[in-house]
Amino acid sequence: MAFRPSLEALLHLRQALERQEEQKLARISRSVVRLRAELEHLDSEFAENQRHWRSDLGSGNLATALHFGVTCAAALREAHKRLRQALQEAERQRKEQLELYRAARQRREVLASLVARQRAAYEERQAHRQQQALDEMHLFRLLALGAEPTRPED
């Protein structure tokens, strides 16, 4: 009789669900990394823009340079604000997804433990049956040879 625990199919399902939650977590984590990189790029772009703006102030039309500098700074600040909000939302989603992943992993681990205990109990029963069969064969052999079976001393 082969080992066929009834929980094995459920364990495979739990493993698939855990992988799915892990993949969602990885996707959200990549999004967080991407947003952080975009924010850093925007910060460096803002600094570069400020340097150009300051150099342009001394080279000619002051009103145009001021207007351009203020307009660029406002646009970059707005983009920075949107990216910061997106990053905060992504980090919130990542934290939420991490909890979902941990819960899925815990459910899978509990079920895996149950399956392992079920397998160990099955193997113990099998070993007991095999030993019992060996004992019976030995007993039949002794009976066939005409020897009197003896009981072990306690």
Amino acid at 68: F
Q: Which domain holds residue 128?
A: 8-144
Q: What is the number of residues in the chain? A: 154
Given a cut of 90, is residue 64 above it in pLDDT?
Answer: no
Is residue 14 classed exposed, middle or buried when 0-12, 13-18 and 19+ CB atoms within 10 A define those classes? buried
* Measured distance CA(105)–CA(26) in Å, rounded: 15
Structural domain includes residue 23? yes
CATH of the domain at 50: 1.10.287
pLDDT at residue 62, as a whole number: 73
Total domain count for the chain?
A: 1
User: Do 95 and 32 meet the contact criterion of CB atoms below 8 Å apart?
Assistant: no
- Residue 150, sorted as left (phi over 0), alpha (psi -120 to 50) or beta, turns out to be beta
Structural domain includes residue 77? yes
Mention every residue, 6+ apart, whose C-beta is less than 8 A from residue 122.
Answer: 3, 5
pTM, 2 dp: 0.69
Structural domain includes residue 1? no
Render pLDDT for 81-131 as a digit per residue (tens, 0 to 9): 999 999 999 999 999 999 999 999 999 999 999 989 988 998 999 999 999
